[in-house]
Amino acid sequence: MESRYRRWLKALEGHRLDGFLVTHPPNLRYLFNFTGSTGLACFLGAETHLIVDSRYLEQAASETLNCQSMLAEKSLEDTLKTTLSNSSRIKGGTARIGLEAHHVSYDYILRLQSWTLPVEWVPTRDLIEEFRMIKDEEEIELLEKAFQMAQKAYQRSVKQVRAGMTEGEVAGILEFELRKAGGQGLAFETIVASGPRSSLPHGSSTARKIESDEFVLLDFGLKYQGYCSDLTRIHFLSDTQRPAIYQVVQEAQEAALSLIEPGVLSSRIDAAARGVISQHGFEDYFGHSTGHGLGLEVHELPRISSARPDEIQQGMAFTIEPGIYLPGQYGVRIEDAVVVTQNGYQLLSNRDQ
């Protein structure tokens, strides 16, 4: 974690920033090991102060690195203002302090700018997230564990699924098993979509009863020490016939996986999956990207899509999840995850489970 912090400080120099304000909880965890849900860290004048309220003071003191914990007496913002006012760097002239522009509101920025302090607030985008995009060995081990737990929970869950259960009941079983397997929370709201509702890519679980001749789409994941797993599986009940699009989606996933190696553009990986689906005449029924990065958040960089062609690098972790969704009929998505190695990739998930 010390090396992450030092690389970040070096990046601030490259952006001609004298300081930086970190408010996004995953970024606070990445740089300072703070696991609370609310706080802010401000680097200025060779020091970083982590400001928290009374709920997190003891926690911050025991777990954080690379910073000095401070109790917010009135509010986080008031304490930040006081801290900046007392900084010798501020007294020496105008300081350029970076902001996580896509994690703070316009109203928040206006409040900061209303302070009569010699500070130029500089919006930045993905400055910390681009570091998080490349996982170190410890992070990869945590992701591997998170996926192992999730797949263990899935295997236990589907053995309990029966026709006549509601989607909500199945979601409850799966979420219980995710906790039982060691998950420390859900990575996102569990999706259980059966029959015609499986054509909804992100349909929430409902009270709909599952029929014996239907299949069920399950999209699920857990958090382990902050790191997220994310999987989508199709579970077939005893009387269910496997639809033809299932094999098409499998082929699309294979095509995408076959291209993964350092130096390849993420847009090429997306195009490979999309090309297979288009060859079978289903190009109009695959609307989302082929994948996304994951780590401390379930959706992070890189994006495996044509919208942002990122160059694939060793240490990146991301999903490959093509799908075909036929409105009013059914939909199929298969989602696995990889970490990029020196010469290719390593699966974080077991595609056979």
pLDDT at 236 over 90: yes
Cα–Cα distance measured from residue 48 to residue 46, given in angstroms and rounded to the nearest whole number: 7
pLDDT at 155 over 80: yes
Q: What is the CA radius of gyration of the chain?
A: 23
**Residue 301: DSSP 8-state:** E
Output the CA torsion sign for 62, 68, 71, 74: negative
pLDDT at 12 over 90: yes
Whether pTM > 0.85 for this model: the answer is: yes
Q: Which residues contact 53 (CB under 8 A, 6 or more apart)?
A: 38, 39, 71, 72, 76
**Domain spans of the chain, in order of start:** 2-132, 137-347
The first and second tokens of residue 145, run together, are 């564990």
pLDDT digit string (tens) for 84-114?
998 878 777 899 999 999 999 999 999 999 9
Number of helices (H) and strands (E), helices first, in the chain? 11, 18
Residue range 137-347, CATH number: 3.90.230.10
Mean pLDDT of 71-78: 93
Tell me the pLDDT band of 45, cut-offs 50, 70 and 90.
Answer: confident
First to last CA, the chain: 34
Of 179, 205, 178, 209, residue with least CA distance to 193 = 205
Cα–Cα distance measured from residue 233 to residue 323, given in angstroms and rounded to the nearest whole number: 11
Q: Residue 190 in contact with residue 205, Cβ under 8 Å?
A: yes
Mean pLDDT of 143-171: 97
pLDDT digit string (tens) for 271-319?
999 999 999 999 999 999 999 999 999 999 999 999 889 999 999 999 9
Q: Where are the beta strands (DSSP E) in 137-226?
A: 191-194, 215-220, 223-224
Mean pLDDT of 118-133: 95
Q: Where are the beta strands (DSSP E) in 144-280?
A: 191-194, 215-220, 223-224, 227-228, 231-236
Of 223, 147, 230, residue with least CA distance to 179 = 223
pLDDT confidence of residue 239: 83
pLDDT confidence of residue 109: 93
- Residue 313, number of CB atoms within 10 A of its CB: 13
Residue range 2-132, CATH number: 3.40.350.10
pLDDT confidence of residue 310: 92
pLDDT confidence of residue 158: 95
pLDDT confidence of residue 304: 98
Cα–Cα distance measured from residue 163 to residue 248, given in angstroms and rounded to the nearest whole number: 26
